[in-house]
Structure 1
Amino acid sequence: MSLDALSDVLRSVRLRGAVFFHISGHSDWAAEAPPAREIAPLLMPGVEHVVEYHAVTQGTCWAGIPGGPFEQLSAGDVVMFPHGDAHVVSSAPGLRGSSDLSWFGSARIEQLPLRVAYDGRNVQLETMPDSASDATIVCGFLGCDMQPFNPLIAALPRMLHLRANGEDAWIARFTEQAAAESRANRAGGEAMLARMSEMMFVDAVRRYADALPAQSAGWLAGLRDRFIGRALALMHEQPAEDWTLDELGRRVGLSRSALHERFVQLVGIPPMQYLAQWRMQAAARLLLETRATVAAIALDVGYDSEAAFARAFKRLVGSPPAAWRRERSNQK
């Protein structure tokens, strides 16, 4: 796999994690989460996209998307919902809960993680973890940017189950540490869990990509391909290069037509379109993280003209680069 391209995307979409809930379940319980777009403004204001995950620290439970299949989770397992779907975690498959979060308004958000007890359909805030529960879960959120271009999220399944078997021992250690930190309320615990959750997400993506069947399609499958992975790495390493389809094909060892066909088959868009979109993502990162002028950033991502860069950026994002930078800065 072209890990450099994966790392490049993860850096550019500004992945950041947070842990907010320590849940205990009793009897025939069900915790139902609304779509991430509805809960994100409460928990991670200003974040474009939220991935929710649940780490089982004790007992067993089930997780799934309403109307879809449910999977059983055991202690040490982690389940993720990369697309931000509404979902249910419960004591048995098929149970439904309430997605009403009105109780959240009474919570003291400065005391994280929040401890929430589900007893059947009843929900209440706890002051201490309940060791007598049927299952305990640490729930966290990972925020990332979707604009101008994030090829990773679309390449992931709607639900990703990471089992704590021998191969996935790191996942089990994460859940153990998550449980310990959420119980202890030690100084720096929230920041530590946030960084660990980011690492866990990266590990999950790599593991999912490594397990893809040989005939899979998608951006992650492209990273694994001998030719397309190299083409992606070259565009990520040198976005300002004056790439042509002929030159890219020559560097990876394919003809122009073969590269185009293989790239579209795996990634879903032509190579030059991918390059244009990736340049805008690289530019967005520079706009947010540096004080460089728009003209300098245009040169850094391969445009000879500031005007041409501004038109391309607006076409993809919806506003000119300078206005977009001001808007995003005001959201911080």
Structure 2
Amino acid sequence: MDVLADVLSATKIGGTVTARVHASGPWGIEFPHLPTATFHHVTQGTCWLRRPGAEPLPLMAGDVVLLPAGTGHAMAGAPTGPTIRFDDVTRGHHGGPASPIDFPGPGPQTRVVCGGYRFDTHASHPLLALPPVLLLRADPSARRHDLTETLRMMTAELADPAPGSQTITDRLVDVLFVHILREWAALRDTSNDDGAAWWTALRDPEVAAAVSLIHEEPGRAWTVDKLAREVGVSRATLSRRFTRLVGEPPLAYLTRWRLEIAARRLRETNDSVTRIANTVGYTSEFAFSRTFTRHRGTPPTHYRATHRP
């Protein structure tokens, strides 16, 4: 089981390019706080990322920056100066990202591709517990070939749109998100408690195998002994390494993932609570309801009533 793919499917991530900026004069765009992740890719020139309470961050051609929590911020041609709200910039602007937002002037040209990722706001997973800003500096090395090639294809498709371009760019943005996460995790000091430890867990053969088993068969009556036998280590070894890397014991993670699946099915299906409980490994609706209420703060029936689309 590909755990990352399973998590991304469960959280329903989907991406799209929202705008392209072509600027050769003074410019600044203020992006609001939204329940989406936001990315910017500088394809030409230089600019600045400005966030409240943080030092302005210089960006140059080839850089990619991701704001996972959709924090309000500004992209601008200078570290200080006025900005225009994104809604005001795009009001009356037709053609979407195929038609760039222009800031004409006599200065050097800067080009930026801006986009976002939509999350299921009810879903969560520690694998996506990311820092406020993920910055990947331009790097022509072969190690970043996949990321660089995805950015190149996305930029080329936007520059010369054809029938189906929207579908192609949306899919490329989804691929881009995974490459950004991979590259960031490879560069991080995994001793920091910022989500990178989870990526270390996925590179640990036995822990990754145990997590994969949980994702592959969440309804199975797992015990730590059974998981340890399946992955070929002792119970104590698996428990110790799993807890250190994942951040919680194996059975606690099993419960978390079961309830994530159950909550999604409560939101999206008409399956009975009993059927959902059985699917995720509970033989008793009462036991499932008690566990769900303890973790989610509300009984399954009430959760369904208040969280249906």
CA RMSD of superposed structures (Å): 3.2
Per-residue deviation at 1:177?
3.6
Per-residue deviation at 1:95?
3.0
- Stretch of structure 1 that moved more, 62-71 or 142-151: 62-71
Q: Which has the higher contact order (CA 8 A, sep 6+)?
A: 1
CA distance in 1, matches of 2:160, 2:107: 18
Equivalent pair of 2:44/2:60 in contact (CA under 8 Å): no
CA distance in 2, matches of 1:13, 1:72: 30
CA deviation string 1:17-62 (max 9, x = no partner): 1221111223443334333x3xxxxxxxxxxx41100122322334
CA distance in 2, matches of 1:97, 1:261: 53
CA distance in 2, matches of 1:289, 1:162: 39
CA deviation string 1:154-205 (max 9, x = no partner): 1456323253524323434433443344344544322221111011101222
- Stretch of structure 1 that moved more, 210-219 or 191-200: 210-219
Per-residue deviation at 1:105?
7.4
Which runs of at least 4 in structure 1 moved beyond 6 Å after TM superposition? none
Describe the shift of the 1:304–1:21 C-alpha distance in structure 2 as closer, same or farther (beyond 3 A).
same
Q: In structure 1, which of residues 103, 109, 121 is the aligned counterpart of residue 88 of structure 2?
A: 103
- Stretch of structure 1 that moved more, 179-188 or 82-91: 179-188
CA distance in 2, matches of 1:253, 1:215: 26
Equivalent pair of 2:68/2:130 in contact (CA under 8 Å): no
Describe the shift of the 1:170–1:321 C-alpha distance in structure 2 as closer, same or farther (beyond 3 A).
same
CA distance in 2, matches of 1:328, 1:190: 30
Question: Which residue of structure 2 lines up, in the alignment, with residue 45 of structure 1?
Answer: none
SS at match of 2:218: coil
CA distance in 1, matches of 2:125, 2:59: 30
CA distance in 1, matches of 2:129, 2:206: 21
Equivalent pair of 2:48/2:58 in contact (CA under 8 Å): yes
- Stretch of structure 1 that moved more, 138-147 or 25-34: 25-34
TM-score, normalised with respect to structure 1: 0.77
Question: Which residue of structure 2 lines up, in the alignment, with residue 34 of structure 1?
Answer: 32
Question: Which residue of structure 1 lines up, in the alignment, with residue 250 of structure 2?
Answer: 271
Question: Which residue of structure 2 lines up, in the alignment, with residue 125 of structure 1?
Answer: none
Letter in 1 for 2:134: M
CA distance in 1, matches of 2:207, 2:55: 33
Question: Which residue of structure 2 lines up, in the alignment, with residue 124 of structure 1?
Answer: none
Describe the shift of the 1:325–1:196 C-alpha distance in structure 2 as closer, same or farther (beyond 3 A).
farther
**What does 1:61-72 align with in structure 2 at a 5 Å threshold?**
61-63=47-49, 65-66=51-52, 67-68=54-55, 70-72=57-59
Question: Which residue of structure 2 lines up, in the alignment, with residue 50 of structure 1?
Answer: 36
Matched, 1:284 2:263: yes
Equivalent pair of 2:39/2:116 in contact (CA under 8 Å): yes
Letter in 1 for 2:170: A
Question: Which residue of structure 2 lines up, in the alignment, with residue 313 of structure 1?
Answer: 292
SS at match of 1:218: helix
Describe the shift of the 1:54–1:229 C-alpha distance in structure 2 as closer, same or farther (beyond 3 A).
same
Q: In structure 1, which of residues 118, 142, 150 is the aligned counterpart of residue 117 of structure 2?
A: 142
Letter in 2 for 1:72: L
SS at match of 2:37: strand
Per-residue deviation at 1:323?
4.5
Matched, 1:228 2:207: yes
CA distance in 2, matches of 1:307, 1:26: 64
CA deviation string 1:262-309 (max 9, x = no partner): 333222222222111111122234345554333222111111122332
Residue-pair matches, total? 303
Equivalent pair of 2:134/2:184 in contact (CA under 8 Å): no
Question: Which residue of structure 2 lines up, in the alignment, with residue 126 of structure 1?
Answer: none
Unpaired segments ≥5 residues, structure 2: none
Matched, 1:208 2:184: yes
Equivalent pair of 1:82/1:160 in contact (CA under 8 Å): no
Q: Percent identity?
A: 33
Equivalent pair of 1:222/1:229 in contact (CA under 8 Å): yes
CA distance in 2, matches of 1:162, 1:11: 28
